[in-house]
Amino acid sequence: MRIPISLALAVSISCPASALHGADVNVRTESGTVSGVRAPQSNVVSFKGIPFAAPPIGDLRWRPPQPVQPWKGIRQADLFAASCMQHERQEFLPWTSEFLTHNKVGEDCLYLNVWTPKPHSGAKLPVIVFIHGGGFSEGAGDIAVYDGEHLAATGLVIVTINYRLGVFGFLAHPDLTAESEHHASGNYGLLDQIAALQWVRANIPSFGGDPHRVTIWGQSAGAFSVEALVASPLAAGIIERAMADSGIGIAGLPMASLKMAEEAGAKFAAAHHAASIKELRAIPAEDLLPGPQDSPLRFAPDIDGWVLPDSPQALSDRGADNDVAVITGYQAGDGLLFAPRMQTPEQFHQMAEAQYGEMAGEFERLYPAKNSDEVKAMLAQSIQDRDRVSMFLWASRRQKNHRQPVFTYYFDRAIPWPQHPEFGAFHTGEIPYFFLNLKVLDRPYEPVDFKIAQEASTYLKNFAAQGNPNARDLPKWPRVEANAPATMEIGVRTGPMPLADPEKVGFWTRYFASPAGAHAPPF
């Protein structure tokens, strides 16, 4: 079953030679012609603010994305469109302004952006569709570190997308389920992502892309979205490969059932004095944004029976999802997002008792902390070991009933930052490397940083092109094998690395199989 977005093939019209040498380049999509801008240094053409679905406003709020209204003439695609509804933040370290949304926000936000070095039919370049992070409550496709020009210049078509966020993207409610022909509600943000991928399948040949070599790549909430799309029957046939940064592991993101999500949605409506969905749709969007007391993940994907018939892990375990090649990886500092704040050995002991129960004694033997410095070191090391084992266990389980390979990585290079060395390889810090956007940030880079960026982006390009990141001029990246517990280190040293000491691998494997492991954080 598919959401109601037209899948008719685009009318592919090659750009005339005169357009290729001018400032503007016109490309025909199934909804109309768009005009992009060629960057003089890279020769990459960008098309910004292309609609892939109708504005989800008024009666279309909390409905699956609907077809774009075709336009006549030439639509200028030289500016980003509005970002989806969210609170815009100022810098909050370690995330400086280059990692944050600064565009105007609004409900009319279902637009995407394309960067291509060959904007004409027949080029058949690999395509990467990037899905932004932000806890399903913030973010956009126009953020500075996501600029696709430099990565596209290597011979790829890069697409970044917007999707509905927070309550606008993930509200479930009994009335919404009742009005749905699929008896489902709550996953509108995922449906937006699927609609964008359907747009790519239909239109990307005109931009020089190969519609049968589409890689979805997401980070943080975008990575959880990638996991959901790999699991969803609605994404069958529109993705060939998937990469998840921070990331997919055996712990995963807790996901509500439709009933639980409906109950939460009903409470939300009551809190806003709305007796019906009609009344809730009439409330101004700004008045529905979360308050400071709300969790960023208050609204997130649910098991709705349509977009997600079951949890992604359960579908993967049964081989009932999309059998595509997968890369998943973590940053060295990812787990600190969920780590408790502590300084003393007593606090460390209390944490061990609370999190590891009967296994607490073994945990403290493997990660001894007798002073404040050791507390900090052992907390970081234990989380990093746990993350590496978590993604290995997920990948090795997937390999049991899927033909396509899984590759994992561990990114441990910290962006140079003399003013704040305490942040290390922080969550999202790998993105400028993979996007070849180091110079977006004013940092005292060393030659090794540009080497890492070149290696990381080349692995990504190879994966998008052939489903395998390897090439002769790069360190060998082995696929996951259940009998070979290891991952790929990407950093100053790039190459295979052990997950942890064998005894620690055994501990974490038993932990994830225990009742306590069911409550492990996503990373």
* Closest to 297 in 3D by CA, of 226, 244, 220, 354: 220
pLDDT tens for each residue of 357-398: 999 999 999 999 999 999 999 999 999 999 999 999 999 999
Are residues 161 and 196 in contact, defined by beta-carbon separation less than 8 angstroms? yes
d(CA 353, CA 362): 11
Task: Tell me which residues of the chain have a pLDDT lower than 50.
Answer: 1-22
pLDDT of 253 reads 81
Question: What is the 3-class SS of 70-120, one letter each residue?
Answer: CCCCEEECECCCCECCCCCCCCECCECHHHCCCCCECCCCCEEEEEECCCC
- Collapsed DSSP state (helix, strand, coil) of residue 45: strand
Can you name the residues that pair with 157 across neighbouring β-strands?
Answer: 127
- CATH code, residues 17-249+257-321: 3.40.50.1820
Q: Where in the chain are the domains?
A: 17-249+257-321, 329-394+406-453+471-519
pLDDT of 296 reads 65
Q: Which two tokens stand for residue 6?
A: 């037209």
d(CA 119, CA 203): 11
CA neighbours within 13 Å on the CB side: how many for 80? 22
pLDDT of 23 reads 57
Catalytic residue list contains 18: no
* C-alpha torsion 307→309→312→315, nearest 10: -130
d(CA 521, CA 523): 5
Catalytic residue among 220, 316, 382, 457: 220
In our burial notation (b when 16+ CB lie closer than 10 A, e otherwise), range 181-191 reads: eeebbbbbbbb
* Closest to 267 in 3D by CA, of 191, 167, 189, 177: 167
Question: What is the 3-class SS of 454-508, one letter each residue?
Answer: HHHHHHHHHHHHHCCCCCCCCCCCCCCECCECEEEEECCCCEEEECCCHHHHHHH
d(CA 74, CA 468): 39
